[in-house]
Amino acid sequence: MLALCFAALLAARGTAAAPAACDCNAVPMTHAPVCGSNGLTLINACVAQCQGITVAKQGACNQATGPVAASRAGAGSPDTAAFLQPQHVMKSARVNAATLTKYSSEGFTYIARVHLSNEKVRPLRFAGGPTPIAAAARAASASLVATMVTPAGDIYARIEKGPKAAARGAVSSLRGTLLRSNRTFDAPAMTAAPANGSATAGRKLRAVKGPDDRREYDDHNYPWSAIGFIASGCTGALVGPRTVLTAGHCVYDDWTRQFMANLNFFPNRHSGGWHCHGPSNCSTWTQENRWARAITWYHNAPKPSAPGLATWDGMIADVAVIQLRDDVSSRGMLGLRAECNTQSMPVSTAGYPSDKPNYGSRTWFTWGQMNNVNGCGVWSRDAIATSTLDVAGGQSGSPMFHIVNGELVIRAILIASSPTTTFHRTVDSRVIEFVRANRV
């Protein structure tokens, strides 16, 4: 009965109803990809037609080599075929109409249900390579596919048209909230480790440039309270009551083409414990914050030539947000800021480096100068800032923040390194619009 009612609703909207062979309350995940009229590849015709989407052709849409101007089902459209590998699809699953349309009000199309990966994140290394795709294909107004995954393995996608490039000197921002509304920050104080930090000097690792400047800290004050460990093996920062900003490769493995299974968030984790910043009854405070869904651009980039290899296109798309089930705004939230010019600035960051003892349960802080920070929103290597900060796997997704008028704002996300350079995805006007659209 529900399936018949759903088909009637589609007919009332003037869209194609599912054929009689499709039970829209128990849609199988048969691997028979089709290209929908919206330019997205779906797992089969029933998934398309039970959402009122006309099948443009059998088989995948023409797969892009990167983000390009939206042409929907035309040649070179953004596509979702990359992660619909037969071995990853949960073929025995049956999906009901409520699941198919759960996020349609947000513009998301249901794609498939897939197996998620229980592997840890691969830290990305940059070894040089070609510049990003042609200028016509990377304009600031080009479209991207934002892909969303849930803990059940349900995949949704939405084609997003990027904003026009910001005017020179323009400023975009998204306000955070301080843990204490009257708290202000002194910029010089942020260039030294917390008083209870300890230094480890002289170690030379692949991603450490000269003496290791990272310092362990255990501080439950803002902003450290808003930074935490992601169970996939990364770092993230709260930018909304239930929203964590991190790197795209912390959510999606561009080599295996799989999404990560465990994206739970541990804010302010240190020494195996968690500081309590919640209600007065801390014994009932959720220490591990379970994830509800994650959204990323990262799959828009081409597959790299080797696992763990960063490419220019991959680094530009290396952004994700994780939405949590519970409100954790009492820990404070960091703001975001983009300025349409190219500048250098002092920044601080904290994360969970895998080369340190007790990986995942000890927090490390560092600071330095970040260069080539361009917030104009152009899809090119100008979106990548650089530094010589000491980093290692596990710090991926760490916020690079500095102080503007007493407020801490994220200016970039740590994404990759080489022996001489650390790379950061700049927070530009496009990233701010992505976070704004997906922040809860």
CA-CA distance, 67 to 299, in Å (whole number)? 10
Domain boundary among 53, 86, 105: 105
Peptide bond into 241 cis (omega under 30): no
pLDDT of residue 120: 86
Residue 219 scores a pLDDT above 70: yes
Do 225 and 87 have their domain in common? no
CA-CA distance, 348 to 432, in Å (whole number)? 20
Do 97 and 219 have their domain in common? no
CA-CA distance, 427 to 410, in Å (whole number)? 7
Q: Which 3 state secondary structure label does DSSP give 352?
A: coil
Could you tell me the CA-to-CA distances from 330 to 144, 242, 277, 333, 380 in Å, in that order? Answer: 33, 11, 6, 8, 37
Q: What percent of the chain has pLDDT over 70?
A: 72
CA-CA distance, 391 to 416, in Å (whole number)? 9
Residue 103 scores a pLDDT above 80: yes
Q: What is the mean pLDDT of residues 145-159?
A: 95
pLDDT of residue 142: 58
Reported as a pLDDT band with limits 50, 70 and 90, residue 342 is confident
pLDDT of residue 144: 79
Do 205 and 83 have their domain in common? no
Could you tell me the CA-to-CA distances from 173 to 59, 143, 382 in Å, in that order? Answer: 41, 22, 19
pLDDT of residue 176: 54
Do 224 and 358 have their domain in common? yes
pLDDT of residue 275: 54
Q: Tokens 């089969």, residue?
A: 44
Q: For 391-427, what is each residue's pLDDT tens digit? A: 888 999 999 998 887 788 999 999 999 888 999 999 9
Q: Answer whether residue 422 is part of any domain.
A: yes
Residue 46 scores a pLDDT above 60: yes
Q: Answer whether residue 361 is part of any domain.
A: yes
Q: Angle 308-310-316 (CA atoms, 0-180°, nearest 5)?
A: 135
Lookup: tokens for 301? 């980039």
Q: Which of 60, 70, 130 is nearest to 302 (CA)?
A: 130
pLDDT of residue 377: 76
Lowest mean pLDDT among 80-94, 270-284, 344-358: 270-284
Q: Answer whether residue 241 is part of any domain.
A: yes
Query: What integer best gives the mean pLDDT of the chain?
Result: 78
Tell me the residue range of the domain where 395 lies: 171-438
Look up the CATH number of the domain holding residue 415. Answer: 2.40.10.10
Count the neighbouring beta carbons within 10 Å of the beta carbon of residue 202. 9
Q: Answer whether residue 157 is part of any domain.
A: no
Do 100 and 176 have their domain in common? no
Structural domain count, the chain: 2
Q: What is the mean pLDDT of residues 64-87?
A: 52
Q: What percent of the chain has pLDDT over 90?
A: 43
Domain boundary among 81, 105, 129: 105
Count the helices and strands in the chain (H runs, E runs).
5, 30
Which of the pair, 158 or 62, is modelled with greater confidence?
A: 158
Do 333 and 256 have their domain in common? yes
pLDDT of residue 183: 38
Reported as a pLDDT band with limits 50, 70 and 90, residue 252 is very high
Q: What is the mean pLDDT of residues 331-338?
A: 89
Reported as a pLDDT band with limits 50, 70 and 90, residue 145 is confident
Q: Answer whether residue 139 is part of any domain.
A: no
pLDDT of residue 130: 56
Do 90 and 180 have their domain in common? no
pTM for the model stands at 0.84
Q: Answer whether residue 222 is part of any domain.
A: yes
Q: Answer whether residue 289 is part of any domain.
A: yes
Q: For 300-315, what is each residue's pLDDT tens digit? A: 877 888 888 888 888 9
Do 251 and 347 have their domain in common? yes
pLDDT of residue 438: 93
Burial state string for 326-335 with b = 16 or more CB within 10 A and e = fewer than 16: eebbbbbbbb
Q: Which range, 72-86, 238-252, 297-311, is most confident?
A: 238-252
Do 98 and 178 have their domain in common? no
Count the neighbouring beta carbons within 10 Å of the beta carbon of residue 113. 23
Lookup: tokens for 153? 């393995």
Residue 319 scores a pLDDT above 80: yes
Do 82 and 192 have their domain in common? no
Q: Which of 236, 342, 251, 335 is nearest to 289 (CA)?
A: 236
Do 184 and 99 have their domain in common? no
Which of the pair, 354 or 79, is modelled with greater confidence?
A: 354
Burial of 129 (0-12, 13-18, 19+ CB in 10 A): middle
Q: Answer whether residue 133 is part of any domain.
A: no
CA-CA distance, 127 to 427, in Å (whole number)? 23
Do 50 and 194 have their domain in common? no
